[in-house]
Structure 1
Amino acid sequence: MDIDPQQLREQAIAVLDNNWNGRFTKPAPSLYPHQWNWDAGFIAIGNAHHNLERAMADLRHLFSGQWANGMLPQIVFGDDPNARYFPGPDFWQGHRSAHAPQRPATSGISMPPVHGFVLWRLYELAADKSAARAFLKEMYPKVMALHRYLYTYRDPHEEGLVYIRHPWEGGTDNSPIWDAALARMAIDPDALPPYERKDLQNPKAAAHRPTQQDYDRYVYLVDLFRKCDYEDDAIFKACPFLIQDPLFNGVLSWSNEALIQIGSLLGEDIAEPLQWHELTIWAMNDKLWDEERGLYNAYDLYHDELIPVHTSSGLMPLCGQVPDQEQAERMLQVLESSMFGGTDQGIWLCPTYSLLAQDVDYQKYWRGPVWINLNWLLYQGLMRYDMADMAQRVKQHSLDLMARSGFYEYFDPRVDTPGEQGCGTDRFSWSAALCIDWLAEG
């Protein structure tokens, strides 16, 4: 469809402006009233194109919640007394950890570490390189501390692969990748602490959200972490959900690379991020690469087995330049296949789950829809391997979706879908932010 770039950009900036609360940019006006970890990174990229000070303020606020051990929380809670979200600070009870800050209140898990490459992107976009360099100097040790935490506490075999311990940490809450591990968790719903979900405010969208059974398991894991006082060693021994995710580790690889660039610019010793970077790339290829399927698997550390599920997360190591060119070509073939609709004119790129799966759901959260942030990561990865034609298709599909439907949380991948294309909540900040970044390329 024909797009008016200037109009779309102005609409995207308006979304970010309206979601700014004076201290940070909310992911959405009402459904997500606090600050989310990787959301803040993507949002900062969008803001940096027209308001670098706000982009820096977002990241400063996020890192104000960083724990003393380096862990960067999934949620940094705001002070709005009317902001109702589950689970809130009273449920997380982050104060149980000796590492958590007294203020602000935070959750007790993390999210994909996008912050290294986000910082480098902000530096690239900055007109005032001196001010941007000062910001890099301020933030570099904080991001280094996050990566050091991941490699110290989330890589128990020192193999260069970081595990997540909750589906929310992967950023793809109800991805089919987690199904088998969650299903094996023997829990008694009646023994769970009482809770009331706040994500079902829109009855029309209730069927698109994770199931109640999913939520029971999410709550079970949080309760387990609380009982362990958020001590990593204790959690590792007790937690039945320990997954090495290709999306998380692919993002980690890209941010390691960015830390090497930033450290070199600042004159820092880069031996540590160099070692992380090389080891993670080697380990992902040695352990997670699936030549037959042409993508990267997740690995279940608790059950000591690969998770052979076809999701777009298996393509995301492209952004971290993990595969070699031959592997990347194989991944392109997978993307072009009917599995992800790459040659189907009736599909918007890129569905998050194989269209050939029996349980694919075009409108259910991470079980089939298109997400703008994953498309942006995929686009970056494709461009790194000179796969410009497919990269431009992913970009154009994303812009068309937003121009046609608005800045939604995610989108139905069917071109001729019955009803609304946009799903979840609207006026979603990272969709708007990454739209701005794409439009700036022309």
Structure 2
Amino acid sequence: MTLAPTVEPPARAPAADHHDLDRAARRVLVTNWRLGATVPARHLYPHQWSWDSAFIAIGLRHLSSVRAQRELESLFGAQWRDGRVPHIVFDPQVPVDAYFPGPAFWRSGAAPGAPAVPTSGIVQPPAHALAAWATYRADPAVAHARGFLPRLYPRLARWHRYLLDRRDLGGAGLASIVHPWESGMDNSPAWDSPLSRITPVPPDSFTRRDLAHAAAAERPTDLDYGRYLRLAADYRDAGYADSPDVHAFAIEDPLYNALLIAGEHALADIAAAIGRDPAPHRATADRLTAALMSRLYDPAAGMFFPRDVHTGRLVRSWTIAGLMPMVVPGLPVARELVATALGGRFRLREACPLPSYDLAAPDHQAGRYWRGPGWVNTSWLFWHGLRLHGETALADDLRDRLLRRVREAGFREYFDPLTGAGHGTDGFSWTAALALDLIRAA
């Protein structure tokens, strides 16, 4: 099953009531553009982040297809020899103390196969093939002239191969994340139990920079950071080698693997567009979908849950990650996921953006990072999945409410899913980029 035709129909112009929002979103992306890439936010996140760039490219294609292509090309220019795409590519022009942990912590220059530019050593969710295909479809003529797909395809394939081979820590075919930051949902309640086994570094051994730009009540705790740094330092000190013995935290995450599967479908379309054989990618997608269903889906719950590789048990935490397999073409339980999203835990018809964590849970926190607030990117993914599976009325309603939220609260990093209050930093790039995409959605 393909995600879309090779040539995308012309994007519609923004409706009259979206003109101001459209212009404001463009201003955010222009302001946050650096030489070849877009920072997520000028002060809080002053470098290039991996899955941010994927979502940003999806929106940038409506502003400049060349700039969207360069966004992805810049990121993959920092790919490691083993295929991994680092979660941060550091800008040498930014002061070294502007973000922590910075290049001095990760020491990528000492790692075998790392690029010349300083990077982190961990990765983020593989949304890049989806973004590359969408970017190509926005302007195939320009993409052909620049050789965009033929140049990017081998790098995307190597990236997926790294995840499929080096990160199959559970031995069942699914990719494992080895750090909460790799999930994109850093302090998700789903990670509380696996993280409880990790001894944090002492709190006086590091100085956080994020709290200079965001309220402590809206960010992960110092205890969280202590454990994050322990995991990252252990991985670094092992030379960024991948094995269950190195990784005290190893999780098969539904969001991560859903994007990998959707990405394999996108790679099949890319392969066909450049005269390569798409069949291996489709076979991989089918195999991964079967593993996703057998390993992470709970029929009684109508929900996907992460699996802890070390214990072999599902982590039964009701987070937005469990709904993200909606992006998988041909998913056999799409209707069940819609029913779960409509229920009291996520309240699809009311909450906007969809909450990152169970609205009915006693420890839901509507303003603390991934412990309750709604994020535009995960709601965009669910919207994409609704359209993919024919739920057009729900998709259109979610789109309209997302745009209304952003118009009212601004391009915030995340939002209270019920009141709409904005949290985190402002002028956030993927919020602006995905708003552009939603404005132009047919």
Q: TM-score range by the shorter chain?
A: over 0.9
Partner of 2:383: 379
Match of residue 348 from structure 1: 352
| Aligned mates of 1:388, 1:271 — CA distance in 2 | 29
User: Would the aligned equivalents of 1:96 and 1:230 in 2 still touch at CA under 8 Å?
Assistant: no
Q: Residue in 1 aligned with 2:9?
A: none
**What letter matches 1:331 in structure 2?**
L
Residue of 281, 306, 310 corresponding to 1:273: 281
Relative distance call for 1:24 and 1:293 in structure 2 (3 A) is same
- Equivalent position of 1:391 in the other structure: 395
Match of 1:370 among 370, 374, 389: 374
1:293 to 301, 322, 333: 301
2:266 paired with 1:258:
yes
Q: Is the 8 A contact 2:200 2:229 kept in 1?
A: no
Structure-1 residue corresponding to 2:7: none
Residues 206, 3 of structure 1: CA spacing in aligned structure 2 closer, same or farther, 3 A cutoff? farther
Q: Tell me which residue corresponds to 1:313.
A: 321
**Which piece of structure 1 moves more, 382-391 or 209-218?**
382-391
Report whether the alignment pairs 1:141 with 2:154: yes
Shift of 1:395: 1.3
Match of 1:334 among 340, 346, 369: 340
CA contact (8 A) 2:44 2:213 kept: no
Aligned to 1:400: 404
The alignment partner of 1:306 has SS state of coil
What do the CA deviations read for 1:343-401 (whole angstroms, capped 9, x no partner)? 44xx3241111111110000010111110000110000011111112212221221111
d(CA) in 1 for partners of 2:418 and 2:209? 28
Contact 2:40 2:429 (8 Å CA) reproduced: yes
The one-letter code of the counterpart of 1:239 is: H
Equivalents in 1 of 2:142, 2:70: separation in Å?
17
- Report the equivalent of 1:169: 182
The Cα RMSD (Å) is: 1.8
Deviation for aligned residue 1:96? 3.0
Mapped partners of 1:282, 1:82: distance in 2 = 46
1:245 to 246, 253, 258: 253
Paired residue for 2:211, among 197, 200, 225? 200
1:304 counterpart residue number: 312
Quick one: distance in 2 between partners of 1:202 and 1:430? 18
CA contact (8 A) 1:340 1:349 kept: no
Residue type matched to 1:91 in 2? F
Structure 2 match to 1:189: 201
Cα pair 2:341 2:347 within 8 Å, conserved: yes
1:68 aligned to which of 75, 78, 81: 81
> For the Cα contact (< 8 Å) 2:383–2:398, is it kept in 1?
yes
TM-score normalized by structure 1? 0.93
Distance 1:386 1:343 in 2: 17
Gaps of 5+ in 1: none
Which deviations, in whole Å up to 9, do the C-alpha atoms of 1:225-261 show, x marking residues without a partner? 111011123xx31321000000000011110000011
Aligned length: 427
Partner residue in 1 for 2:430: 430
CA displacement at 1:81 relative to structure 2: 3.5
Q: Structure 1 segments of 4 or more deviating over 6 A?
A: none
Question: Measured at CA, do residues 3 and 194 of structure 1 come closer, stay the same or move farther in structure 2, by a change above 3 Å?
Answer: farther
How far does the alpha carbon of each residue in 1:394-440 deviate from its partner, in whole angstroms, 9 at most, with x for none? Answer: 2122111110011010001123x6xxx11000000000000001111
Aligned to 1:229: 239
C-alpha displacement of 1:184: 2.0
Aligned-pair CA distance for 1:342: 2.7
**CA distance, structure 2, for counterparts of residue 37 and residue 279 of structure 1:** 26
Q: Which of the numbers 92, 101, 110 marks the counterpart of 2:106?
A: 92
**Distance in 2 separating the partners of 1:174 and 1:311:** 11
Q: For residue 210 of structure 1, report the CA deviation from its aligned partner.
A: 0.4
| CA–CA distance in structure 1, aligned partners of residues 120 and 94 of structure 2 | 17
Matches within 5 A, 1:401-416: 401-415=405-419
Q: Is the 8 A contact 1:160 1:276 kept in 2?
A: no
Distance in structure 1 (CA, Å) of the matches to 2:146 and 2:42: 32
Where does structure 2 lack aligned partners over 5 or more consecutive residues? 1-14
Contact 2:328 2:385 in 1 (8 A): yes
C-alpha distance in structure 1 between counterparts of 2:327 and 2:145, whole Å: 24
Match of 2:117 in 1: 104
C-alpha distance 136-322 of structure 1, shift in aligned 2 (>3 A): same
Deviations 1:138-176 (A, max 9, x none): 100000000011111001354221000000001010111
Residues 65 and 142, structure 2, Cα contact 8 Å, conserved in 1: no
Matched residue, 2:363: 359
Among 117, 141, 144, the alignment partner of 2:130 is 117
Q: Aligned AA for 2:185?
A: T
Identity across matched positions, percent: 38
Residue 80 of structure 1: CA displacement?
1.8
Pick from 166, 169, 177: which aligns with 1:153? Answer: 166
Residue 82 of structure 1 deviates from its aligned partner by 2.9
Offset, 1:123: 1.4
